[in-house]
């Protein structure tokens, strides 16, 4: 059994060794995977009790396992669903024929909007750490690709899945325009990018050589698409190297907080430049692919926390979306 999970119960199904490898990878990234490992042990037992003998996992089998149980809370069900889905994505990336369920069919558990906003100094250290990444035998181009992934996430505020799904055909580096296709709400949008970042992406493309227009802009091994979970794993390592403490699950800092940081830093720059935030909010909402302006307005409170005199000047226009005004 893998030494990283020798304290975990053994896995007995036909896919037991793959489950062990998945848990080992998670633990190598710094995750405490005790509870999740026990849940996957239940999945392994489910396969054994179902007398499942093949390494292919069809839709009917997975839906039977992921459906909500009687007396199971929404949060517990969603956690079980998400952990199982991560495992199935891991299996699919290894070439196994498995059904990966769509997250749209699981109830969303609403939580407080409390992202981590990186400081300018923290961003400098993170990018510096990314530039020091080294190639792996299994990922010989990661040191070329991943630093630019993190720059793009922060520089344009993209969702990780949007960035990793970009193809060369979606990337017009002569005009400095990205085409984001089939985003979170099923819409396409155009995203202008900074000239300095455009120049870096041009350099990256040149180093990677001639490729098909359908190839991913940020290729993983064998020109495959990077999984968000893989990028998040690398990012956790960068946090550690940058001296930014990880507070635990659901507390962050997270990879997705680069998107939130982009929005807050952009609004701060506009404010300090005397630009009307009221006029810029709809533009920022469109740029980030928000379905509603309310999603963008939430960044006002986060920006106010960074700028001491901002609240009084904006209260007259945005008081209804600035929480905690009476608590200052």
pLDDT for the residue numbered 31 = 65
pLDDT for the residue numbered 281 = 86
Pairwise CA distance, residues 229 & 243, whole Å:
21
Q: How many CB atoms lie within 10 A of CB 94?
A: 12
Tokens 């200052």 found at: 328
pLDDT for the residue numbered 305 = 65
SS3 219: strand
pLDDT for the residue numbered 139 = 86
Tell me the CATH number at 155. 1.10.443.10
pLDDT for the residue numbered 6 = 41
Domain identity same for 42 and 101? yes
DSSP-derived secondary structure letter, 98: B
Question: Alpha carbon of 173 to those of 155, 161, 193, 203, 293: distances in Å?
Answer: 15, 20, 9, 11, 29
Residue 156 counted as domain residue: yes
As for how many domains the chain has, the answer is 3
- Pick from 274, 179, 268: nearest CA to 217: 179
Residue 211 counted as domain residue: yes
pLDDT for the residue numbered 316 = 46
Domain identity same for 96 and 9? yes
Run means of pLDDT, 10 residues per run, the chain, 328 residues: 47 93 81 81 94 94 91 84 91 93 67 78 96 91 97 96 96 96 80 96 96 95 91 94 82 90 93 86 90 78 64 46 36
Residue 13 counted as domain residue: yes
SS3 111: coil
93 Cβ contact partners less than 8 Å away, ≥ 6 residues apart = 224, 227
pLDDT for the residue numbered 3 = 41
pLDDT for the residue numbered 36 = 86
Tokens 């400095």 found at: 176
Alpha carbons within 13 angstroms on the beta-carbon side of residue 327 total: 5
Residue 73 counted as domain residue: yes
Residue 111 counted as domain residue: no
Strand partners, 289: none
pLDDT for the residue numbered 306 = 67
pLDDT for the residue numbered 7 = 47
Domain identity same for 293 and 204? no
Domain identity same for 170 and 231? yes
SS3 180: strand
**How buried is 292 (Cβ within 10 angstroms: 0-12 exposed, 13-18 middle, 19+ buried)?**
exposed
16 near 44, Cβ under 8 Å? yes
Residue 252 counted as domain residue: no
What domain range is 93 assigned to? 3-105
């Amino acid at each position: 059994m893998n030494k990283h999970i020798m304290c975990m119960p053994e896995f007995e199904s036909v896919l037991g060794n793959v489950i062990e490898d998945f848990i080992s990878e998670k633990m190598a990234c710094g995750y405490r995977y005790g509870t999740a490992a026990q849940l996957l042990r239940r999945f392994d037992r489910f396969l054994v009790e179902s007398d499942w003998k093949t390494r292919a996992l069809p839709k009917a089998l997975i839906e039977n396992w992921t459906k909500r149980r009687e007396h199971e809370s929404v949060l517990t069900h969603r956690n079980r669903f998400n952990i199982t889905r991560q495992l199935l994505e891991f299996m699919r990336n290894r070439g196994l024929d498995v059904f990966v369920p769509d997250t749209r069919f699981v109830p969303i558990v609403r939580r407080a909007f409390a992202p981590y906003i990186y400081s300018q100094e923290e961003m400098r250290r993170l990018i510096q750490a990314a530039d020091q990444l080294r190639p792996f035998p299994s990922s010989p181009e990661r040191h070329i690709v991943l630093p630019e992934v993190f720059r793009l996430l922060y520089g344009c505020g993209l969702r990780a899945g949007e960035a990793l799904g970009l193809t060369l055909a979606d990337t017009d580096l002569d005009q400095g325009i990205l085409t984001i296709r089939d985003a979170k709400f099923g819409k396409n949008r155009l995203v202008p990018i900074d000239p300095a970042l455009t120049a870096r992406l041009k350099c990256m493309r040149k180093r990677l050589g001639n490729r098909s227009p359908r190839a991913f802009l940020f290729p993983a091994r064998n020109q495959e698409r990077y999984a968000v979970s893989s990028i998040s794993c690398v990012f956790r390592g960068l946090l550690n190297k940058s001296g930014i403490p990880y507070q635990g699950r659901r507390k962050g800092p997270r990879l997705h907080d680069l998107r939130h940081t982009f929005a807050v830093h952009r609004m701060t720059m506009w404010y300090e430049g005397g630009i009307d935030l009221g006029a810029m909010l709809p533009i920022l909402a469109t740029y980030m692919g928000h379905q509603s302006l309310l999603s963008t307005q939430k960044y006002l409170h986060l920006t106010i926390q960074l700028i001491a005199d901002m609240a009084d000047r904006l209260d007259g226009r945005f008081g209804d979306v600035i929480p905690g005004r009476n608590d200052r």
